Amino acid sequence: MTTLSDLNLLPPAAFVQALHGIYEHSPWIPERAAAQRPFATVAALKQALQSAVTHATADEQLGLIRAHPELAGKAAIAGNLTAESTSEQAASGLNLCSPEEFATLQRLNADYNAKFGFPFILAVKGPTGRGLTRQAVIAAFARRLKNARGAEVAECLRQIHRIAEIRLNDLLGVQLAYGPRIMQWAEDLAQWSDDDDGLTCAYMTDAHRRTAAQLAEWMRAAGMTATIDAVGNVVGRYASDVPGAKALITGSHYDTVRNGGKYDGRLGILLPLALVHDLHARGVKLPFHLDVIGFAEEEGVRFRSTFLGSNAVTGRFDMNLLDAADADGVTMRAALAAAGHDTGAISNIARNPDDVLAYVEVHIEQGPVLLERGLPLGVVTAIAGSSRYLVELTGLASHAGTTPMDMRKDAAAAAAEIVLLVEERCGRVPSLVGTVGQLAVPNGSVNVIAGACKLSLDIRAAEDGVRLDAVKDVLAGIEAICARRGVEFALTPIVQAPAAPCAPWLMEQLGAAVDRSGLPRFDLLSGAGHDAMAMAALTDVAMLFTRCGNGGISHNPLETMTADDADIAATVLLDFLTGFTPKPAPGARPAGTA
């Protein structure tokens, strides 16, 4: 078995020869990476190989893509694939296609080549390395045919890097310690859903309660004490033997959006749980209690109230929300009672800040930044604050054929102008984003000028001043637009969430762990909200993002990540935990000073 040490010591030509099958018919890639030896970790070697491709010319990159065979194509039929490609295509059963599947693949190959001029590339061993189904391969093929050429070139290169990663693991005998378990647990949890098709896990439904029970069971099996509290948080503790120890908290939410993904939130519970499972098996204790919390509700799907679980932990649960009703008229109070929870005990959930060291959350990025940079991990600098409103416009419904253009009070036209206003104003500042995600013309008709329109407004930024300035300008713009068009408007504030900066002292320790893994440290903003925002009211917070595949899509069944990325994230978090240094008390002198 070849080892990383062997590769570091080989002469350049032998190094290239040892890696000849990692990138298909492209020896120039290991040739360029060889100069960066010695590699401290396999992750560093992978990054060096990827960097050689990233910095190659466009012609070299296209040559690399074209060096790969078609899936179930002519080379496969003729038996002319490399040993690596033969094994990979067989892993997805592409050598066992039915006549209909084979015909579909041949048609897709022809359409794809006609559109892009190169073969379709897919890491058919998939996110786990165990292989995609033929149906999943065909679905990915059909979906990516809709891409623009530039986007598809980038996706092909990402798939090639994934293929190379799996091949390199095989060459070096890499056994992922945590990734496969995390991925399998995520699959297991996904079996419980409110819907027959897709994954929906809303607060206090049967699927939600079964998910909580499973998490508690896994926590106990990993050597933790585990309870489900009065709002449904699943709280596991890996207790320290140190007298008077404080707690470091990690975790995330286990509820989902409607028809969501398997990793949003849940990764942040399952990943530290896998670490505890390993620590307990090895008899290793930490100098602090490690609390893993599966927060019961973050998405606000059922009762339109977010961060219920984490707000309870910080002592900020709004008891008035217990009277909120879902779409069926069931109140939150009734739903909790039906699940056996005592709402009178909610106040007891609040933690004492003096007993808590910090809160650290691992989460998929839910965006494309890490993906486009070819990085598995990133250290979060801050979670953007958010201002959300519902805007109701009231114009005058009138005949589309008889009302002159300059005499209309068109609510839809006013809404269109508002959408463009939001885009223009928020586009001025790189760290600012604005979205109109909902837009409706109630009782609209093709031959009637819109008399009413409803739209949502969501403005986010890492700095509250930047966000609030944009909100002020947009609201003033809405007023001006409506006055000019003779349209009335009403604003309903929905959310006013301040930005949550991550603590520099925690970021530095996370960043140092990333560096020790062999990956370059990369810092980025979180545009999405997370439980860490709420937990910032209790203690200092930090977040570690993992790469999200399929273009960075999330809140979607296509949300994906790999076992390798889960594994390196777990390795980094374990390094962080085992080397964790608590924040010095105010006024305390640094260690080693007189």
pLDDT digits (tens, 9 = 90+) for 448-468: 999 999 999 999 998 999 999
Tokens representing 196?
A: 């027959």
Length of the chain: 594
What is the reported pLDDT for 78? Answer: 54
CA–CA distance, 201 with 260 (Å, rounded to integer): 9
What is the reported pLDDT for 592? Answer: 47
For residues 122-142, give the mean pLDDT.
Answer: 92
Residue 77, pLDDT > 70, answer: no
What is the reported pLDDT for 251? Answer: 98
Tokens representing 260?
A: 């969501």
What is the reported pLDDT for 591? Answer: 47
Residue 514, pLDDT > 70, answer: yes
Name the nearest CA neighbour of 385 among 472, 473, 493, 466.
Answer: 466
What is the reported pLDDT for 88? Answer: 74
CA–CA distance, 540 with 163 (Å, rounded to integer): 39
pLDDT digits (tens, 9 = 90+) for 37-60: 999 999 999 999 999 999 999 999
For residues 8-12, give the mean pLDDT.
Answer: 96
What is the reported pLDDT for 496? Answer: 87
Task: Name which residue leads in pLDDT, 152 or 81.
Answer: 152
Residue 402, pLDDT > 90, answer: yes
What is the average pLDDT score of the chain?
Answer: 94
Tokens representing 17?
A: 């020869």
End-to-end CA distance of the chain: 52
pLDDT digits (tens, 9 = 90+) for 409-436: 999 999 999 999 999 999 999 889 999 9
Distance (Å) of CA 299 to CA 28, 160, 286, 308, 361? 47, 35, 32, 9, 16
Residue 21, pLDDT > 80, answer: yes
What is the reported pLDDT for 123? Answer: 95
pTM of this prediction?
Answer: 0.90
What is the reported pLDDT for 193? Answer: 97
Residue 98, pLDDT > 90, answer: no
Which pLDDT band holds residue 594 (cuts at 50, 70, 90)? very low
What is the reported pLDDT for 69? Answer: 87
For residues 525-546, give the mean pLDDT.
Answer: 95
What is the reported pLDDT for 429? Answer: 94
Residue 494, pLDDT > 90, answer: no
CA–CA distance, 127 with 316 (Å, rounded to integer): 39
For residues 561-582, give the mean pLDDT.
Answer: 98
pLDDT digits (tens, 9 = 90+) for 200-221: 999 999 999 999 999 999 999 9
The least confident of 291-300, 425-434, 580-589 is: 580-589
Tokens 């296509």 identify what position?
A: 558
CA–CA distance, 396 with 394 (Å, rounded to integer): 7
The least confident of 75-89, 260-274, 330-344, 476-490 is: 75-89
Which pLDDT band holds residue 545 (cuts at 50, 70, 90)? very high
Tokens representing 307?
A: 């961060």
Tokens 């609390």 identify what position?
A: 291
What is the reported pLDDT for 431? Answer: 85
Strand partners, 291: 237, 249
For residues 249-253, give the mean pLDDT.
Answer: 98
